[in-house]
Structures are given as C-alpha cells and as structure tokens.
Amino acid sequence: MLFGRSKTLVGLDIGDSSVKIVELKELGKGKGFRLLKLGWEPLSSEAIVDGQIMDSQLVSETITRLMNRLRIKSSKPVATALCGHHVIVKRISLPIMSEAELDESIHWEAEQYIPFEIDDVNLDYQILEGSSLAGDGQMDILLAAAKKDKINDYVGVVGDAGLHATAVDIAAFAIQNCFEANYEFEPNQVIALVDIGSAVSTISVLHGGTSVYWRDINIGGNQYTDTIQKELNLSAEQAEQLKRGEEIEGIPYEKAQPIISAVNEDIGTEIQKTLDFFKQISATDQPLERLYLTGGTVQVVHMKESLGERLNTQVELLNPFRKIPPGSKDASPELINEMMPTATVAVGLALRKMGD
Ligand SMILES: Nc1ncnc2c1ncn2[C@@H]1O[C@H](COP(=O)(O)OP(=O)(O)OP(=O)(O)O)[C@@H](O)[C@H]1O
Ligand SMILES: [Mg+2]
C-alpha cells in the first residue's frame, strides 16, 4: 500500500499534439474534488503519430518538463490512458453466470471478438447492469482489450519520465468518468460524448448513464491544418494559425474560411455515420437527446454550430471542471479557461481511485 493514503491522483493525458496534466484532491467520501494543478505542454508533430509513439525520449522529456513546471512530485501516483488506435471495446452477451465463472471463461470467450492474438492483449471487462440486448437468460458485458506492446510503450515513457503509472485507462472511459463527475443523468436519456482531438475522435453513447456504444474514428484537427496547408500552399505553422483564426501576413482569414467549413461538414458527416450505425444496432428507440463536445478542435470557428445543424441535436461543450472548483492558487481562472476544451481526459484519469 505504498500509495494507499494518497488522496490526490495525477491524470496524465498523452495526446498526439500535447501532454496534459491535472492533479485533483479528493475531499472525502462523497464530498467531491478540488482542482489543485493543471497544465499542458505541446509535443512536436513527429513525437506521436496516430497514437504511435515515434520518439519516446521526446515524449518522456516533455512529461518531465511539465511535471517540473507544475511542481508536482514524481512520487505521486499517475494514471494515464491509451486511445482507441490500440484498444478494442465491445459489448458482448453471454449466458448469465457468476463473477467467478465469468473470470474463468472470459479469456476464452473474448477470443472470438478480438482480432488480435489473445496472448498479445490485456483484457478487462465490466458486467453491464440492466437487461441484456440478447434477451432473457443472457447478460451483457463490456469487454476491453488493449495490446500489451502499446501499453508497454505508454507505461515506458511514463517510467522514463521518472513517474509511476498506477493505472492505464482507456481514453473513452476517462471521458465518461469525467462526464459522470460533472453532470447528472436522467434514467432513459441517450446522450453522446464526442472528443475531437488532433488525430482521433472518440465517440461514446450513453443510455441512462451506461455506456452502450463506443467508437474511435480517425478524424480530428489535423484534417483542417492539412487541408489548409495543401490548398493554400502554406507551411504547417501558417495553416495552424489560420485554423485558429489568427492573422498571417498576406493571407486573409477569408481564404481559409471555405476550407474550414468544408472540413466541418466532413467531420459532421463522419460523426453522423457513426451515430446512424449506433441507431441501427441499438436496443432503444429513444432519440439522441444531446451531444457533449470536447477536445481542442471544438475551438474551430463554427465547429459546434455546424455539428448541431448537421445532427439536428443539441450540442453543448463539456465542461470538465463543472463540479470541480479550484482548490489552490495554481488553478487560476485563466488556465482553467484555457484548458476547458482539452482537459477532459486528464480530469477523468485523475478521478480514478486507487485500486480501480
Ligand atoms: N484555438 C483553436 N482553434 C482551433 N483549433 C485548435 C485551437 N486550439 C487547439 N486546436 C486544435 O486542437 C487539436 C488538439 O486538441 P487536443 O489537445 O484535444 O488533441 P490531442 O489530445 O493532443 O490529440 P489526440 O486526442 O488526437 O491524441 C489540434 O489539432 C489543434 O490544432
Ligand atoms: Mg486527446
């Protein structure tokens, strides 16, 4: 029980474009959390490509720099996450059995659902409450499988940074965790959580608070930057600036606007497809009531509005600090505001209790 008494946990989100850290303090059972520290540090685009760590030294040095700048002790337990490139999450139905029986047979059962060698993955599962999609006598299980070599890559850079990763979560679950800590559910409500980062977008659908569908799609902020760069013949830096609505010499923002609108449409189409697919396989005919958006890309001009029109659904920005007030002067209002769109995964990770 080295960390047994620790009441603070550090969430470390290693994204394709930046590293984010959040430290929370738990006040006591049921008393909520306070935000102690938060910060981020950019990663150069070669460091991680599509979730693949290409330059582990660069990543671990960036983590160390950020930890030092935030003055977080390296002895604190850290939770980190893998994104969907390396993880498979499936809802499966099995005959009702005891937890012990399930524990025995899950490895064998999982084999038919996982497209990787079963010995190459770490398995985790959760029994879903409520009735089974497959009918009486069955129970539903959320099955997650992550490739061991990818877990090792991520745990490796955390270790090289001198930290101890006590938990490796899945980004989609961290997002859900963060949402649950900040929002209330209505029993029959269907909502979607959508995180649009730089390389990947994570979509989860929740029904009455239970995760019923989950998918990662390979779209994100890079799509805007790449298209602007190509179509206007600019450097990546210039394209990034234009995307953020910043002025660059000689090129008015108006030139980028139609390109940005077109990519907004493309991303909307991809999200729509995913949600349509969910509707087809879903057991409920309850309509999607609301979509909560998070991730750096939500800051693209008209992104949120465009998505709302496209999906004909209420779209709201997820506030990862909605019920987590600052508990130290390090958590300044400016920093909280700046990281509002990007801190969701890190907050969800920091909410993990020891031993989860
Ligand atoms: N003000 C802004 N306007 C538009 N886009 C922005 C703005 N700020 C950041 N972005 C974009 O947000 C993206 C980064 O978001 P985020 O930090 O959520 O991604 P990530 O976690 O690093 O990546 P991933 O989740 O794909 O691994 C980048 O594509 C970046 O260009
Ligand atoms: Mg991310």
The per-residue pLDDT string of the chain (356 residues; one tens digit each, 9 = 90 and over) reads 333 444 778 999 999 999 999 999 998 877 889 999 999 999 998 999 988 999 999 999 999 999 999 999 999 989 999 877 778 888 888 999 998 999 888 888 888 888 888 889 998 888 887 666 677 888 988 888 889 999 999 999 999 999 988 888 889 989 999 999 999 988 889 999 999 999 999 999 998 888 888 888 999 999 999 999 999 999 999 999 999 998 888 888 899 999 999 999 999 999 999 999 888 877 777 889 999 999 999 999 999 999 999 999 999 999 999 999 999 999 999 999 999 999 999 999 999 864 44
Q: 175 CA to middle of ligand 1, Å?
A: 16
The β-bridge relationship of strands 52-53 and 314-317 is unpaired
What span, in angstroms and rounded, lies between the C-alpha atoms of 38 and 1?
Answer: 26
pLDDT of residue 5: 46
- CATH label of the domain that carries residue 258: 3.30.420.40
143 lies in some domain: no
Q: How many domains does one find in the chain?
A: 1
What does the H/E/C string look like for 90-130? EEEEEECCCHHHHHHHHHHHHCCCCCCCHHHEEEEEEECCC
Using a 6 Å cutoff on CB, does residue 16 contact ligand 1? yes
> Which of 12, 14, 16, 17 to mutate for ligand 1's pocket (most ligand atoms within 8 Å of CB)?
17
207 lies in some domain: yes
> Which of 41, 198, 241 to mutate for ligand 1's pocket (most ligand atoms within 8 Å of CB)?
198
Q: In this structure, which ligand is nearest to the CA of 220?
A: 1
301 lies in some domain: yes
What span, in angstroms and rounded, lies between the C-alpha atoms of 343 and 321?
Answer: 9
Closest CA to 73 of 167, 166, 164, 160: 164
Q: In this structure, which ligand is nearest to the CA of 20?
A: 1
160 lies in some domain: no
250 lies in some domain: yes
- Reading the block at residue 183, the tokens are 């929002």
What span, in angstroms and rounded, lies between the C-alpha atoms of 152 and 32?
Answer: 32
165 lies in some domain: no
Using a 6 Å cutoff on CB, does residue 319 contact ligand 1? no
Using a 6 Å cutoff on CB, does residue 296 contact ligand 1? yes
Q: 70 CA to middle of ligand 2, Å?
A: 20
pLDDT of residue 295: 98
- Reading the block at residue 73, the tokens are 């002790």
Q: 295 CA to middle of ligand 2, Å?
A: 6
47 lies in some domain: no
292 lies in some domain: yes
Q: 197 CA to middle of ligand 2, Å?
A: 5
Using a 6 Å cutoff on CB, does residue 222 contact ligand 1? yes
Atom of ligand 1 nearest to the CA of 199: 26
Which residue, by CA, sits nearest to atom 10 of ligand 1? 296
pLDDT of residue 2: 38
Using a 6 Å cutoff on CB, does residue 342 contact ligand 1? yes
Using a 6 Å cutoff on CB, does residue 320 contact ligand 1? no
pLDDT of residue 133: 66
Host domain of residue 309: 184-318
What span, in angstroms and rounded, lies between the C-alpha atoms of 187 and 112?
Answer: 33
The β-bridge relationship of strands 288-294 and 314-317 is parallel
Using a 6 Å cutoff on CB, does residue 243 contact ligand 1? yes
CB 58 within 8 A of CB 146: no
> Which of 22, 297, 342 to mutate for ligand 1's pocket (most ligand atoms within 8 Å of CB)?
297
Render 217-279 in DSSP notation, one character per residue.
Answer: ES-SHHHHHHHHHHHHT--HHHHHHHHTT--BTTB-HHHHHHHHHHHHHHHHHHHHHHHHHHH
Using a 6 Å cutoff on CB, does residue 199 contact ligand 1? yes
SS3 297: helix
